[in-house]
Amino acid sequence: MDIPGLPARRAALNLIDAVLRRGETLDQAGGSALARVGGDADRALARAIAGEVLRWRTDLDELIDSATRLPLAPDAKARAVLQIMLAQVLRLETPAHAVIATGLPLLMGGPRRLAHGVFSTLTKNGVTLPDVPTLPEDVAGRWGVRAEAIAAGLAEPPPLDLALRYPEQTAEWAERLGGTSLMAGHVRLARGTAVEHLEGFRDGAWWVQDLAASLPARLLGAGEGRKALDLCAAPGGKTLQLAAAGWQVTAIDNSKRRLERLRDNLRRIGLEAEVVQADVLTWEPEEKFDAILLDAPCTATGTARRHPDVLHRIAGRQIEDMTAIQEKMLERAAGWLKPGGRLVYAVCSMEPEEGEEQADKVSLTPVPVTASELPEGLAPTAEGWVRTDPGMLADVGGLDGFFIGRWQK
């Protein structure tokens, strides 16, 4: 059936199914789900629809259930199609007639009349979504007292953050790009910007990096020619930061594909690092280091603003698996420090098991982070750690969720 826009909606349906049924990330699912969608605009639309459904799924389901005499099964295709249709009207401001024309054909041979009736009832009644998305019950329980504030930070996809090659040029680049800055070496732009077309991209003046993700490398300070080890380094934002700060960097990652991106970024920015493909759990260095940055594999729940699939994929088993890996990596990394060397451990996770509870196990001497090392509006915890979440700095665009700790040997 040749209906304009239908392939994008079908791809969105497949993306959501891959996340909810197979536990894939949106990025992992994109290759097959988007293969038959022509044009960048339609592929972007499919991703946007899927993202909004996953961001607001709990609230969309509540609306659907309010308009059905008997509840649809949680995995019913009609429910998924209605989620897609409602997300377009309520979040993407797609005209209702276009939503119907591209939504009901997804139910060929299925309950099209039911879906049409539910959708029409809800839209005629002028239903709306709340200002803040409702978190899945298990997620809200894990995130505790901060859950409501975090949810407020998930209502919109994030802005675009850039890390500058030369922090002393912050004011200049903020003006040239029409952005704002929350600390030296950072510029924030409105979302939706085409990165490759921005001034300075080809010249290597900056790279894309969330503000919170830039904090771990900042906490190691100036390198002054000393040697730093960046573990789990790809795609390379922290490697670039360390090299730009004067460190001699050895970057380790076990993904050949992601390391190619790291090398590409090094070439574009005009920086150097030793790049090694290896597994951190089996690799052994030939020397010890003045600084080690371990941005460990994690559940990535702190990236829910841009990857709302984590709200539905991550549960206890994944958290347990990650904490076991993190503990082993932390133990190994601590042994690779020179006397007086510093270790920074970071995870882009909201889960205390991956952050605070891991930090409690480190046998090195803590080096508390100070408020002067952080963007205005953030403060270290009482222990001297850094804990960020999407509800922080919300009035200026928010930031990802991270835990960061620092120690010295």
342 in the same domain as 229: yes
**Structure confidence by residue, pLDDT tens digits, 195-207:** 989 999 999 999 9
350 in the same domain as 363: yes
- Is residue 356 included in any domain, yes or no? yes
Global pTM reads 0.94
257 in the same domain as 204: no
* Residue 174's CATH number: 3.30.70
42 in the same domain as 17: yes
Active site residue 348: yes
Domain count, the chain: 3
Q: Which residue has the tokens 């007292």?
A: 145
Task: Name the domain boundary from 175, 194, 209.
Answer: 209
344 in the same domain as 260: yes
CA nearest neighbour of 231 among 211, 219, 217, 218: 217
- Is residue 340 included in any domain, yes or no? yes
250 in the same domain as 175: no
Task: Name the domain boundary from 78, 104, 124.
Answer: 124
* CA 126/CA 131 separation, integer angstroms: 15
The residue annotated as part of the active site, out of 348, 364, 369, 399, is 348
69 in the same domain as 105: yes
* Residue 63's CATH number: 1.10.940.10
* Mean pLDDT confidence for 186-193: 91
320 in the same domain as 175: no
Task: Name the domain boundary from 174, 190, 209.
Answer: 209
- Is residue 136 included in any domain, yes or no? no
- Is residue 140 included in any domain, yes or no? no
More confident residue, 194 or 333: 333
Q: Which residue has the tokens 């001297």?
A: 384
- Cα–Cα distance list, 290 to 135, 214, 220, 250, 285 (Å): 42, 20, 10, 12, 13
* Residue 321's CATH number: 3.40.50.150
**Structure confidence by residue, pLDDT tens digits, 147-185:** 999 999 999 999 999 999 999 999 999 999 999 999 999
224 in the same domain as 185: no
- Are 231 and 336 spatial neighbours (Cβ–Cβ below 8 Å)? no
- Is residue 134 included in any domain, yes or no? no
180 in the same domain as 326: no
CA nearest neighbour of 326 among 216, 190, 231: 231
285 in the same domain as 217: yes
301 in the same domain as 183: no
Q: How confident is the model at residue 261 (pLDDT cuts 50, 70, 90)?
A: very high
Which two structure tokens, joined as six digits, stand for 152? 């407020």
Which two structure tokens, joined as six digits, stand for 268? 């574009």
Q: Could you give phi then psi for residue 259, rounded to 5 degrees?
A: -70, -30
Which structural domain, as residue segments, surrounds residue 306? 212-408
Asked whether the predicted pLDDT for residue 370 surpasses 60, the reply is yes
